[in-house]
Amino acid sequence: MTNHSVSVKDLTLNFGAVKVLKNLTLDISEGEFIVLLGSSGCGKSTLLNCIAGLLDISDGEIWIKGKNVTWAEPADRGIGMVFQSYALYPQMSVRGNLSFGLKTAGVPRAEIEKRVARASEVLQIEPLLDRKPSALSGGQRQRVAIGRALVRDVDVFLFDEPLSNLDAKLRADLRVEIKRLHQQLNNTMIYVTHDQVEAMTLADRIAIMKGGHIMQLGTPDEIYSRPQNRYVADFIGSPSMNFIDGQLQDGVFARGDLTIPMAGYNYASPQPPGGPATIGIRPEHVVTGELVGNAPVQLDVTVDIVEPMGSDTLVWTEVAGERFRVRMDGHAQVRHGEPLRIGIVPARASLFDAKSELRL
Amino acid sequence: MSTTATSGPAAAAAPRGPKPRRLSVARIGLYGFLIISALFFLVPLYIMVVTSLKTMPEIRQGHLFGLPETWTVQPWIDAWMHACTGRDCNGLSPGFWNSVKITVPSVFISIVIASINGYALSFWRYRGANLFFGLLVFGAFVPYQVVIYPLIIALREVHLFSTLWGIIIVHTIFGMPILTILYRNYYAAIPSELFKAARIDGAGFWQIFVRIMLPMSVPITIVAIILQVTGIWNDFLFGVIFAGRNNWPMTVQLNNIVNTTTGTRTYNVDMAATIITAAVPLIIYFISGRWFVRGIAAGAVKG
């Protein structure tokens, strides 16, 4: 067929009367790192389970490596999966955990030993091979779980929120290791998470899901800079984007006294539309300090709440009667009640249709 | 501050270090209640033990609580080998071995089937699984007496009435609902991701059960063994109905010994026979109780 590593075609999944996934289509290229991102209940883990063959689908097709595996057993799909709770077999040693899948597949003993040795070398778990999972730390357990997928020599790796059970520091460490692993192996990887930092740092492409639909599929930069709709714009970015509802007329966004000429804005359609619209401005794209003078639009606001976070400071103000967050330098000296001059760059803003919430 | 000041009476007034324990009225009441409860169960046991070690003339003197003046183990030997159960005078020993022959296979078979049931019900959600489980739960509440007559007919039709296998089948059937519920709930607490991981590793129904679930089932199996051994060993009703004269379990034999009145009633032999009969569930409980605690502790550390 094509050179798609994994293809999901018109996938529908119903749990009784509830449609969990709706006509979902997704093509993943060879060696690509795809992150399925969304809040809980959006269907991202369900989609992963469908690809793995752990859930029977209601309609559609799943292709892996040019083979239609819609009806195939999980073990026959050429996938390896890593779970959030590690799911290591508690009564087996690490070696037993790694070799279990190979034993059931009837791989010769010498070959098993070779593959276990290689996987444990890649993941640096050689000293742990004879321990039981209960004697391992969370990070070590997750390495073993990755190793279990690794020994099977599969084409596609599936990760189901693998880092969510780890503490923040370990999560950051293992995140880098997963990225290194991907560079080293160049396998196709599908990674489910609700953590946007993981998504942004790991993914070649991110699929943002909501209610069983993919809201946007694109590179991290596309998702961040040109969100296709208001949901994606709101979901990605921390602190999240500021939204102001108003009117777009002849290339000028207006809300009461506030007018923002959208000069330099890259419209989704060739004709600049008009009508009710929402402007979205990321807190980190608001200009403050000495550079305000360079910004095309400048506003005077009053500081309400200041949240110092060390590396930067989040300042809450009000623009056109709406809460408005501004991200400032960590050394910024601002206090409650003080006036502040901010600058807005329309080229970096996003405009959404007020009704359809799609990008304009 | 000097060191003498901290150890003086002033320091005792200031709260510091471990809180001093005081015996309150409530505590005394609590311990009193516990001691009385313990006596309530232990005094009859004491009387049974000392009576079983007395000679008949001494028992007739009526000193219920007194220790034996002349100690004897003859009642125990009689109870085991010579006491009369109706016409036969072979003591309890045939009944003991009958009980072993009934209990061991019944416990083993019922646990094997129930664990497979529980495993299938919690991991392989086949169509109708919930209905099946509902029926099983209902089965746990059916009064035994209701099904005895139909069971007699059914076993007669397959020529298993009054046989060893007949009674084993009856015990297996009646143990099934509660044991299945036990195993199903135990397996329901195991993360389903473990099952999914095994499926991705290519393991099938039996491989997952034998290689992964069974090794994790030690604690619940100990519970099941205690439950079944105690229940089946102490059973009287099914034994007397379904086992047949040759296979009557110990409880039936005990009843016959105690109720056989030819000449004088030998209280010491009755007491010894009763203790022997009750010993098996007690021993099982003491031995596996320790395993039980160990099993729980091992299961608490999730892999």
pLDDT digits (tens, 9 = 90+) for A269-281: 887 778 899 999 9
**Cα–Cα dist B174/B140, whole Å:** 8
pLDDT at B139 (0 to 100): 83
Share of chain A above pLDDT 70, in %: 99
> Domain locations in chain A?
4-228, 232-353
Q: What pTM value is reported for the model?
A: 0.82
Domain at A4-228, CATH class: alpha beta
User: Which residues does A32 contact at the CB level (< 8 Å), separation at least 6?
Assistant: A5, A188, A189, A204, A205
The pLDDT of A219-241, averaged and rounded, is: 94
Instruction: Nearest chain B residue to A144 by CA: give it.
Output: B303
- The pairing of strands A258-261 and A275-281 is unpaired
pLDDT at B293 (0 to 100): 62
- pLDDT over threshold 60, residue B8: no
Interface probe for A, chosen from B201, B213, B221 (most Cβ of A below 10 Å), is B201
Ranges assigned E (strand) in chain A = 4-15, 18-29, 33-37, 59-64, 67-68, 79-82, 156-160, 188-193, 205-210, 213-218, 242-249, 252-255, 258-261, 275-281, 297-302, 305-308, 312-319, 322-329, 339-344, 350-353
Q: How would residue B245 be classed by pLDDT, with cut points 50, 70 and 90?
A: confident
Residues of chain A whose beta carbon is less than 8 angstroms from a beta carbon of chain B are 49, 52, 54, 73-76, 79-81, 83-91, 100-101, 104-105, 132-134, 145, 148, 152, 160
pLDDT at B297 (0 to 100): 52
Higher confidence at residue A215 or residue B141? A215
Helices A44-52, B192-200: axis angle to 10 degrees equals 40
Instruction: Nearest chain A residue to B299 by CA: give it.
Output: A90
CB atoms within 10 A of CB A114: 13
Residues of chain B whose beta carbon is less than 8 angstroms from a beta carbon of chain A are 191, 193-194, 196-203, 207, 211-212, 215-216, 301-303
Query: Which domains, and CATH codes, for chain B?
Result: 23-72 (no CATH), 93-300 (1.10.3720.10)
What superfamily in CATH does domain A232-353 come from?
Answer: Nucleic acid-binding proteins (2.40.50.140)
pLDDT at B303 (0 to 100): 37
Q: How would residue A3 be classed by pLDDT, with cut points 50, 70 and 90?
A: confident
- pLDDT over threshold 70, residue B301: no
Contact assessment for residue A207 and residue A37, using Cβ atoms and an 8 Å cutoff: yes
Q: How would residue B296 be classed by pLDDT, with cut points 50, 70 and 90?
A: low
Two structure tokens written together for A67: 């083979």
Two structure tokens written together for B281: 């569930």
**Cα–Cα dist A193/B136, whole Å:** 40
The pLDDT of A124-153, averaged and rounded, is: 92
**Residue in this structure with the two tokens 């509660």, named with its chain if needed:** B178
CA distance A205 to chain B (A): 25
- pLDDT over threshold 50, residue B300: no
A157 strand-pairing partners: A80, A189
CB atoms within 10 A of CB B299: 18
**Cα–Cα dist A159/A182, whole Å:** 12
Residue B142, CA distances (Å) to B146, B147, B174 in order: 8, 8, 10
CA distance A304 to chain B (A): 46
Q: How would residue B282 be classed by pLDDT, with cut points 50, 70 and 90?
A: confident
Q: How would residue B82 be classed by pLDDT, with cut points 50, 70 and 90?
A: confident
Tens of pLDDT, residue by residue over B25-51, are 898 999 999 999 999 999 999 999 999
Tens of pLDDT, residue by residue over A312-356, are 999 999 998 899 999 998 888 889 999 999 999 999 999 999 999
User: Which of A154-168, B120-134, B255-269 has the lowest average pLDDT?
Assistant: B255-269
| Residues of chain B positioned with their CB less than 8 A from the CB of A157 | none
- The pairing of strands A258-261 and A252-255 is antiparallel
CA distance B130 to chain A (A): 15
Q: What is the mean pLDDT of chain B?
A: 86
Share of chain B above pLDDT 90, in %: 50
pLDDT at A331 (0 to 100): 86
The pLDDT of A213-233, averaged and rounded, is: 94
Interface probe for B, chosen from A91, A112, A136 (most Cβ of B below 10 Å), is A91
Tens of pLDDT, residue by residue over A155-211, are 899 999 999 888 889 999 999 999 999 999 899 999 999 999 999 999 999 999 999
Q: Which helix (H) or strand (E) holds B161?
A: none
pLDDT at B114 (0 to 100): 95
Residue B221, CA distances (Å) to B183, B232, B240 in order: 8, 16, 28
- pLDDT over threshold 70, residue B1: no
Two structure tokens written together for B260: 């056989």
pLDDT at A257 (0 to 100): 87
pLDDT at B6 (0 to 100): 47
